[in-house]
Amino acid sequence: MTSRLPTFGMTRVLFAAMLVGTVSSRVQATPPLAEPLWTARLQPAIAWAAELGRAANVDEPWILVAAEDGRLYALAEADGRMLAQPLRARPGVRLSGPSDAGGLVCCFDRHTVYTLFPGGRPQELWQFGQAPAAPAVFDDDPEQLSSWAAVQPTGAGILALSSDGSLFMLARENGRARRQWYLGALSAARLHADEKLAAVLWQTRGKTRVAFVDLASSPAALDTRDLDTHWPLYSSLAGDGLVTVNAERVTLCPRGGEPGSYKHGANSVRAAGVAVWSGTPTGSKSAHQNSSKLLLADGPRVIALELGSGRSCWTVDCGVESPALVALFTCRDLCLVQYDCGVMVIAIQTGKCLLRHFRAGLEVVAAHLGDNRVCVVCAPPDQPATPAELAVLPLNEGREAAAPAPVARLRLPRTQRWLSCLWTERRLVVVEPHELRAYPLPGPP
């Protein structure tokens, strides 16, 4: 699965300009409104939805939908049919960290971890934890008020972190607790994992700490240390350690070594505008730090630094005055930067700008980087009933953006407020408060 993507930048467009070398639409008749391939209606209202089939390594992609009452629905991406009876979780249920690390799909609410087997018919494998028999109110007792803070599937088991500081390693096959550690009370926490290593980043009594879990050892071993840094804006596993980014500095904490840091030099950093690229087209985190890059969106610029040293690799300007950043994503060797008024695609290894797409008077609702194409959904700001336009832009990774290129277009109705957009290889799925609608992705002409 592609990493989960932010899809809405609903601030008013302040300024957008067409640039020489910017991809733009050819003059052509306005296409008719697209008809959905399928529509799935749910009651009660939808809280969130996620496309999970490819991440779970199954042949048929499927979509997990959480309703506001906590029920979880599994829908086939091909036709929207329900693949299994809904799982009854509780309101506020959340999706775990990326499931491709362990091949299972996990969700959790305040009291319970739910694990699904993502086969042809997704089904619940087991639950861990349970709600108290009757609602109760406690006077700030952290043990009684504890809840699940983060859950992460891994190849060695399911890591589950409680807000009281308890970290469990649960068996993949039955959910039994194989190991348990106590980290101390948490005021904030994050959980990262790949095939061999997991890292728990947490804050307690104003201190930031990290615990590494060696997933390759049996039983899994825990290594804990303090970090001389404030709670970071961004954190990620990189190589054999953890990288954190705050407003001024980058901190590298290798497992088994002393942390080091350097100034990144950006003027304005947000978590949505930071990414670590591993230095390999596959996105493997096993690459050496010297080939890895740290990407930072800084106003209209995107900066790439050598992760291990902080050395500047390249800087690319989007050419638009004061754009509002929505998100920065990486896919293979490419970086997609989504602003409120357009998108830009950069080749990470060289810093070559492959595409700039900005539309005056429109804001970007969603964007997606696929194979040899970029998909962008735009709509007029503050006009929720006006149809949105899906543009499919051809991407040539062998050249810089130079001349305007043809664009395939599709108009999408907006009868309700859009919650999000899900992208698959062949479809765009629009998520509204009570229904999902799937549309085909047109190919570049």
Per-residue model confidence as pLDDT tens for the chain (445 residues): 333 333 333 333 333 333 333 444 344 567 789 999 999 999 889 999 998 865 545 567 889 999 999 999 999 999 999 988 999 999 999 999 876 555 788 999 999 999 987 766 788 889 999 776 655 555 555 445 679 999 999 888 999 999 999 999 999 999 999 999 999 888 899 999 888 889 999 998 888 999 999 888 877 778 888 887 789 999 999 988 999 999 999 999 998 888 899 999 999 999 999 999 987 544 444 444 458 999 999 999 999 999 999 999 999 999 998 899 999 999 989 999 999 999 999 999 999 999 999 988 899 999 999 878 899 999 998 888 899 999 998 887 666 654 446 578 899 999 889 999 999 888 999 999 999 999 999 876 5
Query: CA-to-CA distance for 223 and 225, rounded, in angstroms?
Result: 7
286-293 contacts at long range (C-beta below 8 A, 24 or more positions apart): 286/239, 287/239, 288/239, 289/238, 289/239, 289/252, 292/238, 292/239, 293/348
Tally of domains within the chain: 1
Q: What are phi and psi of 80, to 5 degrees?
A: 80, 5
Question: What CATH number corresponds to the domain at position 100?
Answer: 2.130.10.10
Contacts of 397 (CB under 8 A, 6+ apart): 333, 334, 347, 354, 372
Task: Round to whole Å and give the CA distance between 57 and 103.
Answer: 7
Neighbours of 327 (CB within 10 A): 22
Residue pointed to by tokens 């350097």: 262
Q: Which of 348, 237, 251, 331 is nearest to 293 (CA)?
A: 348
Three-state DSSP class for residue 262: strand
Does residue 137 sit within a domain?
no
Cis peptide before 219 (omega within 30 of 0): yes
Alpha-carbon span 174 to 237, nearest angstrom: 28
Give φ, ψ of 152 to 5 degrees: -145, 115
Residue 210 lies in a domain: yes
Q: Tokens 């009594």 belong to which residue?
A: 205
- The SS3 of residue 210 is strand
| Cβ-contact 320, 341 below 8 angstroms | yes
Say whether 320 sits in a helix, a strand or coil: coil
Between CA 161 and CA 143 the distance in angstroms is 14
Q: What is the C-alpha separation between 332 and 347, in angstroms, rounded? A: 10
* Strand intervals (E) in 171-283: 177-182, 188-193, 197-204, 207-214, 221-227, 234-238, 241-245, 249-254, 260-263, 274-277
Helices (DSSP H) in 193-321: which residue ranges?
Answer: none
Position 283 in a domain: yes
pLDDT given for residue 236 in this prediction:
94
**Structural domain of residue 69, as residue ranges?**
38-128+147-440
Antiparallel, parallel or unpaired: β 342-347 and 87-88: unpaired
Question: Does any domain span residue 114?
Answer: yes
Decide if 398 is inside a domain. yes
Question: Edge-to-edge, what's the strand order for the sheet holding 301-306?
Answer: 274-277, 293-298, 301-306, 312-317
Select from 70, 51, 47 the least CA-distant residue to 60: 51
The one-letter code for the residue type at 334 is: L
- CB within 8 A of 80, min separation 6: which ones? 38, 39, 40, 436, 438
d(CA 391, CA 384): 19
Let me know the angle formed at the C-alpha of 330 by 329 and 335, rounded to the nearest 5 degrees: 85
Distance of alpha carbon 388 from alpha carbon 366, whole angstroms:
10
d(CA 60, CA 215): 29
Is residue 240 a contact partner of residue 278, using CB atoms and an 8 Å limit? no
Amino acid 58: pLDDT: 59
Residue 445 lies in a domain: no
In a domain, 436, yes or no: yes
3-state secondary structure of 289: helix
Beginning with the edge strand found earlier in the chain, give each strand of the sheet holding 188-193 in spatial order.
Answer: 188-193, 197-204, 207-214, 221-227
**Element (H or E) spanning 293, and its range?**
strand 293-298
Q: What are phi and psi of 291, to 5 degrees?
A: -100, -10
Residue found under tokens 């972190």: 161
Q: 118 in a domain, yes or no?
A: yes
The amino acid that residue 317 corresponds to is D
